């Protein structure tokens, strides 16, 4: 276990180094994400008018924006990491790691999640101030819901990463997934049962309940939390299964070490 913690520490240190070394690019990315929120908020105001900004609708808009950020960055971190390793020709070295490829990717995802928490906090503060709204933020209660919600995007990232091993360049399709995630976050999964089976939708609904209406884990209930993790685990296993099939095909064609 100590070796696994050292692996996580190494990836987290890598995240910090990237953040510091490419600070201007990081700040530019955060500014871009903030501008996206301004466009969403401006479009909402234009459609609903000033009277439509009362109540918890704008609060739900802010929560949806933050959840989209988490789903998008988690999905991208997985797919982009494997694509980048394949592009630089170091993917095979990850497979030769004493930790195992699964542990390496898992440590990368966890370290990226911790780094994204900081970015999300900054964006959330800016979005709340811009929209003039206040949300209920109980981080210890929100963390398990976040983790259960992000299992689905990890599965999506693995699917895209697996397809990348075979087809090399599928950038246009990865961009489609970015917009797909917006729809998944916006779906009223708390009201429509079948929507809970989609990646990230059920968790996004639970987060809205907690941050907009101030509900805690006790009010959410253990059964719904377990259901969230069960749905996320299915998506994760499905994504991992697709990745392994693509990996096997890439190995048989000698593509794993080439891009």
What pTM does this model have?
A: 0.84
CB atoms within 10 A of CB 199: 27
From the list 173, 178, 146, the residue with the least C-alpha distance to 161 is 173
What pLDDT, on a 0 to 100 scale, did the predictor assign at position 238?
95
| Six token digits for residue 133 | 């709204």
From the list 218, 93, 207, the residue with the least C-alpha distance to 150 is 207
| Six token digits for residue 8 | 């996580």
Phi-psi region of 169 (alpha: psi -120 to 50; beta: other; left: phi over 0): beta
What pLDDT, on a 0 to 100 scale, did the predictor assign at position 87?
73
What pLDDT, on a 0 to 100 scale, did the predictor assign at position 255?
65
Non-local (6+) Cβ contacts of 50 within 8 A are: none
Coil, strand, or helix at residue 167? helix
Instruction: Give the span between the Cα atoms of 76 and 92, in whole angstroms.
Output: 20
Encode the chain (259 residues) as per-residue pLDDT tens digits.
Answer: 777 788 888 888 888 888 888 888 888 888 988 888 888 887 766 554 443 333 357 888 888 888 998 898 888 888 888 877 777 777 777 777 777 777 888 888 888 888 888 888 888 899 888 888 888 888 889 999 999 999 999 999 899 888 888 887 777 777 788 888 888 888 888 788 888 899 989 999 999 889 988 888 888 889 999 999 999 999 999 999 999 898 888 888 776 655 5
Would you kindly state where each structural domain of the chain is located, as residue ranges? 2-252
Phi-psi region of 198 (alpha: psi -120 to 50; beta: other; left: phi over 0): beta
Which class for 107: exposed (0-12), middle (13-18), buried (19 or more C-beta within 10 A)?
Answer: buried
What pLDDT, on a 0 to 100 scale, did the predictor assign at position 237?
94
Instruction: Give the span between the Cα atoms of 156 and 176, in whole angstroms.
Output: 12
What pLDDT, on a 0 to 100 scale, did the predictor assign at position 53?
35
| Six token digits for residue 211 | 């941050």
What pLDDT, on a 0 to 100 scale, did the predictor assign at position 56?
54
Which residue intervals of 132-200 are DSSP H helices?
Answer: 139-167, 171-186
What pLDDT, on a 0 to 100 scale, did the predictor assign at position 256?
65
DSSP conformational letter for 188: -
């Amino acid at each position: 276990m100590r070796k696994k913690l050292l692996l996580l520490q190494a990836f987290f240190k890598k995240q910090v180094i990237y953040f510091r070394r490419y600070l201007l690019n990081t700040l530019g990315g955060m500014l871009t994400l903030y501008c996206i929120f301004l466009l969403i908020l401006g479009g909402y105001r234009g459609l609903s008018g000033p009277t439509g900004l009362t109540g918890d609708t704008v609060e739900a808009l802010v929560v949806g924006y933050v959840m989209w950020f988490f789903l998008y960055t988690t999905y991208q971190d997985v797919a982009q990491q494997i694509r980048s390793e394949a592009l630089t020709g170091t993917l095979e070295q990850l497979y030769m790691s004493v930790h195992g490829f699964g542990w390496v990717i898992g440590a990368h995802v966890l370290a990226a999640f911790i780094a994204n928490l900081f970015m999300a906090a900054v964006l959330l503060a800016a979005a709340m101030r811009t929209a003039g709204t206040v949300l209920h933020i109980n981080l210890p209660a929100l963390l398990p819901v976040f983790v259960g919600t992000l299992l689905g995007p990890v599965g999506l990232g693995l699917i895209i990463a697996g397809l990348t091993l075979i087809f090399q360049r599928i950038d246009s399709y990865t961009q489609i997934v970015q917009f797909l995630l917006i729809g998944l976050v916006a779906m009223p999964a708390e009201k429509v049962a079948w929507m809970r089976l989609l990646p990230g939708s059920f968790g996004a609904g639970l987060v809205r309940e907690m941050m907009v209406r101030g509900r805690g884990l006790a009010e959410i209930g253990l059964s719904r939390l377990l259901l969230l993790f069960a749905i996320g685990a299915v998506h994760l296993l499905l994504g991992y299964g697709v990745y392994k099939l693509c990996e096997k095909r890439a190995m048989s064609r000698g593509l794993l070490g080439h891009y």
